[in-house]
Amino acid sequence: MSNERTEPGTSRPALVRSSEGRMIAGVAGGIARQLGLNVTLVRILFTILTVNGIAFLIYFAIWLLVPDDTDDGSGKTRLRHPRDVPRAIFRGRAGDDPHRLQKLIAYVIVGSLIGSVLGAFGLHTGTASGLPVSVAIIGALLIWWRAPEAQRAQWSSDARRYGSRISRRGSLFVVLGGVGLVIAGVVAFLAAHDALAQARAGALAIGATFLGVLLVTGPWLFRLLRELTAERRERIREHERAEVAAHVHDSVLQTLALIQSQAGDPDAVRRLARRQERELRGWLYAPEPTASEDGAPSFATALRTAAADVEDTHGVSIDVVVVGDTTVDEAVTATVAAAREAMVNAAKSSGAPAVSVFAEVTAQGVEVYVRDRGRGFDPDDVPADRRGIRDSIVGRMARHGGTATVRSGDGGTEVALNLARKVNA
Amino acid sequence: MTAPTPVRVVLVDDHRLVRSGVRAELNSADEGGAVAVVGEAGDVDEALRVINAEKPDVVLLDVHMPGGGGAEVIRGVHATLPAVRFLALSVSDAAEDVIGVVRAGARGYVTKAIDGPALTDAIVRVASGDAVFGPRLAGFVLDAFSGDGAAAAPADNDLDALTPREREVLRLIARGYTYREAAQELVLSERTIETHVSSVLRKLQLSNRRELARWASSRHIV
């Protein structure tokens, strides 16, 4: 990802922090790349210069100011706030980082180093304080190391609900361990200087003050927090309500207005009501699962759509029950078209207010039954110019290797369509 | 079909409009006086009270209600009044809920689109101990129990599979046939059809078929 920036012979690449093989923040790697030096050399230089503290400051300045080489300008990893720093180091989930262990070790080393350095020259306190300070700093680094993840786990309620308990505990233990190390380090440091008694007095004063402030402001803070949560919940609820209201207005209320204006026409009212019912159902309940994943319409969807069309056009109610599903090919499309024709016939000629459609997809093939309880007819009596059944149903099925049988009598009419599945399918 | 004494029915639905609609539909369709609505209830607690007071033959039960669904009512009644039978009546529900009500003990499921005579018929059937499957429930059962009809080896548990005859009966019901029409079609007695449907209901209530739960949660009956 950074090859173009390190091409030899060209002008020097811009100074960016290295994202690969970094020990802490990629500062040394970046400098090495920019100056064309060996990374290890730069690191050793840094370590030596750390003794007088300058390199330490330089390192942190570069860390904060110089962008990462993976920063594509989208601002995602740019360091705007100090809290971005840990995120910039551990981009993505910490679990994805292949060098976690090395980094942990590096932190321990850095912590000890800083502790020793401070102990050695900054504080004139003798050698006894080196170890405690190191321990404290290692602890602090540990807290820092885990902070983003722990915060994420704590602040996001999703993480709290779905996150793995163990991993959260793990990170909690690390943070607690870090806190323990810091406290132990500080206490040991103070003890080493016989300042524990003084510190205790100071700590007592600070603690008492803190407790007092907490007592005074605590209830208020708590209430504020609760109000914030309540307000947020309320806002979400309000948003959902507005969405539902918008939908109901666009669909149901409009339809009701139409129904009122057409109250004299029962057919129109029934049609409007049926369409609205279907639409509302589709909205309330997730769309029916389809057989095909690639977005091609499924047989069930096609049949339901056809039924909905006939319902709308002819003002009858059509109940569709589909068992199984399949993808649509030419023959299946023809079957749906034939079924549609049968529905139209039932709607137009039978006089029945309702039509039942049952379709079953099995290993053997596709079967569709369109049934009404209206007045039946004798298929042989159908005039020659009414070609619906002969051509659009029987003929269409026959052309695609299927069959269609029409049974009609006093109890109504049933058209049965049967499409045997292709052998190679 | 007319019973000597009318079947006493309690309507349970949280919408008063629906209750009065069903009541009107029953009254207008029921010339023979086969069905008598003796009480109504709008929520689970009221339903338990009314049912315990009236001890009806059949409870027409909405699947969705405040304070728990129809399944809650069935559970509350079954212990004390095992003779009361339940028929789930619903507009449009998740298959999960419908199956929940049936598995809790309802003797059948019909949609509110059912017309008066058919509903009367269904109530009388349920009162006499039969199961009532509308086309949708039949389709659902066919789908949920599909896949093993052609299997050579019979399932270990006969609750987990439909017999070919049961399948045939269900298919006819799904096609919109009444029990009588299905009996004519299969050249069986109506009684035999009823037996098959009751057997399917038993399987639906007792089967542990994985597909039942999976299928139900992924789909809606209507």
For residue A127, the tally of other CB atoms under 10 A from its CB is 10
Instruction: Judge whether A131 and A115 are in contact, CB under 8 Å.
Output: yes
A389 vs A93, A305, A339, A418, CA distance in Å? 64, 21, 11, 15
Q: Is the dihedral of CA B29, B33, B35, B41 positive or negative?
A: positive
Confirm or reject contact between A282 and chain B (CB < 8 A): no
Identify the helix (H) or strand (E) that includes residue A386: none
pLDDT in tens, A18-49: 766 666 777 777 777 777 777 788 878 777 77
Quote the pLDDT of residue A158.
Answer: 43
Confirm or reject contact between A317 and chain B (CB < 8 A): yes
Angle at A208 between CA A206 and CA A210, to 5 degrees: 65
pLDDT at B15 exceeding the cut of 60: yes
Radius of gyration of chain B (CA): 17
- Average confidence (pLDDT) over A205-230: 84
Residues in A touching B174 (Cβ below 8 Å): 321, 323, 358, 360
Percent of chain A at pLDDT > 70 equals: 61
Of B150, B176, B222, the CB nearest to A363: B150
Tell me the two tokens of residue B220: 């809606």
Quote the pLDDT of residue B158.
Answer: 63
Instruction: Judge whether B88 and B70 are in contact, CB under 8 Å.
Output: yes
Among B175, B215, B222, the residue to mutate for chain A (most A Cβ within 10 A) = B175
Mean pLDDT score of chain B = 79
Q: Give B80→chain A minimum CA distance, Å.
A: 36
pLDDT at A376 exceeding the cut of 60: yes
A238 vs A60, A232, A364, B86, CA distance in Å? 46, 10, 52, 39
Q: Taking the model in full, what pTM does it have? A: 0.56
pLDDT at A369 exceeding the cut of 80: yes
pLDDT at A290 exceeding the cut of 50: no
Tell me the two tokens of residue B37: 């609505």
What span, in angstroms and rounded, lies between the C-alpha atoms of A304 and A174?
A: 58
pLDDT in tens, B135-166: 888 888 887 777 544 443 444 566 677 888 88
pLDDT in tens, A379-411: 666 665 556 677 778 888 888 888 888 888 877
pLDDT in tens, A229-264: 888 888 888 888 888 888 777 788 888 888 888 888
pLDDT at A163 exceeding the cut of 80: no
Residues in B touching A363 (Cβ below 8 Å): 150
pLDDT at A352 exceeding the cut of 50: yes
Instruction: Judge whether A170 and A208 are in contact, CB under 8 Å.
Output: no
Q: Give B142→chain A minimum CA distance, Å.
A: 7
Percent of chain B at pLDDT > 90 equals: 0
Q: Which residue has the tokens 């269904």?
A: B122
Question: Is the CB of A371 less than 8 angstroms away from the CB of B219?
Answer: no
Quote the pLDDT of residue A362.
Answer: 82
Closest by CA to A68, choosing from A58, A57, A80, A56, is A80
Q: Give the pLDDT band (50/70/90) at residue A368.
A: very high
Quote the pLDDT of residue A423.
Answer: 47
Q: Give A319→chain B minimum CA distance, Å.
A: 9
Residues 135-164 of B with CB under 8 A from A: 135-136, 138-139, 142-143, 146, 149-150
Instruction: Judge whether A84 and A70 are in contact, CB under 8 Å.
Output: no
Quote the pLDDT of residue A64.
Answer: 63
Render B107-125 in DSSP notation, one character per residue. Answer: SEEEETT--HHHHHHHHHH
Q: Give the pLDDT band (50/70/90) at residue A424.
A: very low
Residue of higher predicted confidence among A318 and A292: A318
> How many Cβ pairs within 8 Å bridge chains A and B?
53
For B113-139, letters b (16+ CB in 10 Å) and e give ebebebbbbbbbbbbeebbbbbbbbbb
What span, in angstroms and rounded, lies between the C-alpha atoms of A50 and A61?
A: 14
Tell me the two tokens of residue A210: 């803190």
- Average confidence (pLDDT) over B107-127: 83
Of B150, B176, B220, the CB nearest to A285: B220
pLDDT at B221 exceeding the cut of 60: no
Instruction: Judge whether B20 and B34 are in contact, CB under 8 Å.
Output: no
Q: Give the pLDDT band (50/70/90) at residue A144.
A: low
Quote the pLDDT of residue B150.
Answer: 41
pLDDT at B43 exceeding the cut of 70: yes
Q: Pairing relation of β-strands A365-372 and A412-420?
A: antiparallel
3-state secondary structure of B62: strand
Quote the pLDDT of residue A159.
Answer: 41
Residue A65, phi then psi, degrees to nearest 5: -100, -25
pLDDT at B45 exceeding the cut of 80: yes
Interface predicted TM-score (ipTM): 0.77
